[in-house]
């Protein structure tokens, strides 16, 4: 085995150096064995393109925003090719199977769900204005937190952020309102179902039952109650500092709330039903290019697409324009995740190999649930929480059940080691709130708030003034209570 590892590492070096001119005939005798031992053969530095694309996503929007806005598709393609070309040349058919598998089984269903939720929620418009009192603001955050697990954090955030900003338009102190909105509605509120936040849907795609994530309710409840109480106290403090007459002006400007485009709730229910159907109905499978696809998953994706198309067809364009709806956020997510899902292949394979792979040191170093909570959460804070979850999900499979087929390994994991998976899911979802780049809705909410005239903190201002003093002590308490 050691000899094969060395040979594979050297061939990988030659592949990276020579590119399309690589002679790979020497591997032809081993190609039948490569797929079974892929995670053991891949060198550690094969994960560098994955690290590269995640760091690009984290740093370019901050350091070179204009370059990033114009060229992020090229950046994503660059990292995908840096990994993909030598990988396909070295491992041939096994590599093709790995690439097809992750795109057909993970990427396409993932994007279809996000696209469906994005399209349908974009047709819902909450009109009207209420006075931005502490009680009203807290009620907004509570409602958003409750519905985020069913409409997705993006859907809940886009539905409520503009009415919340209108309610507080006359107030001078309102940055904290948007910050706590990001904490609760754009992140922690999506903890309870695979519809809520992308990491949980990836878990669902890999065999975690739909309602299993309800096990996160105690953690979500504790975090939400603590944050809502802290927000109410803070908002009362700032509200008392407002100039006299602000409340009167707001009350005079009140108009009743109403939901336009309400028929899109039917389409949201259709998406929920489709996801539930795929979790309970087993209709057999089909083979597509050597990849096994479950029929119930294909039906689910078809229903989601149909719900989104019906929403686009039946919703007046004026409602989406009122929401400031564009396809650019969805385009960016699709392009970037196309690169992420390509480059994540070696990381997942090596982690699945457990202590037989080149990340044995990492598998061995993270042992307890509280360590998984902080490790997954820490990476989710500065990278994207979806691939972070998938990485640690596979790390646990590699640690506890290396070599076992994934369906069996996941079944054992959720029954015998549930606390470990709870820690990863909670860390990935909750700590996406630590920075603007931890979860996609964070940036969207910030951009909408700035358009409305709110002087939002910078990246580091958000991190050190708000997330570190408020969220980290709360997460430490959650870690102590639930995962120690």
| 342 vs 324 pLDDT, higher one | 342
Which backbone phi and psi does 253 adopt, to 5 degrees? -90, 0
DSSP 273-326: HHHHHHHH----EEEETTEEEEHHHHHHHHHHHHHHHHHHHHS-HHHHHHTT--
Report whether 289 contacts 301 (CB < 8 A): no
Q: Where on the phi/psi map is residue 27: left (φ > 0), alpha (ψ -120 to 50), or beta?
A: alpha
User: Residues 188, 200: contact at Cβ < 8 Å?
Assistant: no
CA distance 157 to 434: 17
Taking the CB of residue 365, how many other CB atoms lie within 10 A of it? 10
- Which of 35-44, 235-244, 267-276, 356-365 has the weakest average pLDDT? 35-44
Which of 93, 176, 254, 187 minimizes the C-alpha distance to 439?
A: 187
User: What's the CA dihedral at 27, 31, 35, 38 to 10 degrees?
Assistant: -10
Residues 397-427 pLDDT 10s: 888 888 788 889 999 999 999 999 999 999 9
- Exposure pattern of 274-301 as b/e (b: 16+ CB <10 Å)? bbbbbbeeeeeeeeeeebebbebbbebb
Nearest to 443 by CA among 153, 169, 173: 153
Q: What is the pTM of this model?
A: 0.78
Q: What is the pLDDT of residue 37?
A: 59
Assess contact for 239 and 134: CB atoms under 8 A. yes
Give the mean pLDDT of 134-141: 93
From the list 449, 452, 391, the residue with the least C-alpha distance to 424 is 391
Give the C-alpha separation, 292 to 290, whole Å: 7
Contacts of 232 (CB under 8 A, 6+ apart): 134, 135, 138
366-401 pLDDT, tens per residue?
889 999 999 999 888 876 788 888 888 888 888 888
Inter-residue contact 152 to 272 (CB < 8 Å): no
The pLDDT assigned to 242 comes to: 79
Q: What is the pLDDT of residue 249?
A: 53
Q: pLDDT > 90: what percent of the chain?
A: 34
Six-digit token string for 298: 């294909």
pLDDT band at 126; cut points 50, 70, 90? confident
Q: Are 43 and 11 in contact (CB under 8 A)?
A: no
């Amino acid at each position: 085995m050691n000899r094969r590892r060395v040979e594979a590492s050297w061939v990988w070096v030659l592949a990276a150096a020579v590119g399309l001119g690589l002679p790979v005939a020497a591997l032809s005798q081993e190609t039948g064995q490569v797929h079974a031992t892929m995670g053991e053969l891949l060198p550690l530095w094969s994960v560098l393109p994955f690290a590269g694309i995640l760091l690009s996503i984290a740093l370019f929007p901050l350091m070179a925003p204009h370059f990033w806005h114009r060229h992020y598709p090229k950046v994503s393609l660059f990292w995908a090719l840096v990994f993909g070309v030598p990988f396909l040349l070295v491992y041939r058919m096994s590599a093709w199977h790995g690439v097809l598998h992750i795109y057909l089984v993970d990427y396409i269903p993932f994007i279809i769900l996000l696209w469906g939720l994005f399209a349908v929620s974009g047709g819902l418009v909450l009109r009207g204005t209420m006075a931005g009192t502490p009680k009203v603001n807290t009620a907004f955050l509570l409602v958003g937190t409750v519905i985020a697990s069913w409409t997705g954090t993006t859907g809940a955030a886009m539905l409520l952020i503009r009415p919340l900003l209108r309610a507080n338009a006359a107030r001078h102190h309102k940055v904290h309102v948007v910050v706590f909105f990001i904490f609760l509605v754009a992140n922690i509120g999506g903890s309870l179902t695979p519809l809520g936040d992308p990491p949980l849907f990836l878990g669902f795609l890999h065999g975690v039952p739909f309602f299993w994530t309800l096990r996160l309710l105690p953690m979500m409840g504790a975090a939400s109650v603590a944050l809502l109480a802290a927000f109410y106290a803070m908002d009362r403090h700032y509200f008392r500092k407002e100039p006299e007459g602000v409340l009167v002006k707001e009350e005079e400007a009140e108009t009743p709330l109403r939901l336009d485009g309400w028929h899109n709730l039917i389409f949201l229910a259709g998406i929920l039903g489709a996801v539930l159907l795929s979790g309970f109905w087993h209709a057999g499978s089909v083979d597509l290019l050597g990849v096994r696809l479950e029929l119930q998953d294909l039906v689910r994706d078809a229903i989601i697409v149909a719900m989104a198309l019906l929403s686009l067809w039946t919703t007046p364009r004026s409602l989406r324009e009122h929401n400031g709806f564009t396809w650019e956020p969805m385009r960016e997510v699709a392009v970037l995740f196309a690169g992420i899902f390509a480059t994540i292949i070696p990381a997942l394979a090596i982690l699945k190999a457990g202590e037989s792979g080149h990340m044995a040191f990492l598998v061995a170093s993270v042992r307890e649930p509280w360590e998984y909570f902080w490790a997954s959460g820490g990476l989710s804070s500065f990278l994207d929480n979806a691939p972070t979850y998938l990485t640690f999900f596979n790390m646990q499979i590699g640690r506890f059940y290396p070599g076992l087929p994934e369906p069996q390994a996941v079944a054992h994991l959720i029954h015998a080691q549930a606390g470990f998976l709870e820690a990863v899911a909670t860390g990935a979802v909750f700590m996406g709130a630590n920075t603007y780049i931890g979860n996609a809705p964070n940036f969207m909410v910030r951009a909408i708030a700035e358009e409305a005239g709110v002087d939002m903190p910078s990246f580091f201002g958000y991190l050190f003034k708000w997330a570190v003093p408020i969220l980290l002590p709360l997460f430490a308490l959650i870690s102590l209570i639930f995962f120690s």
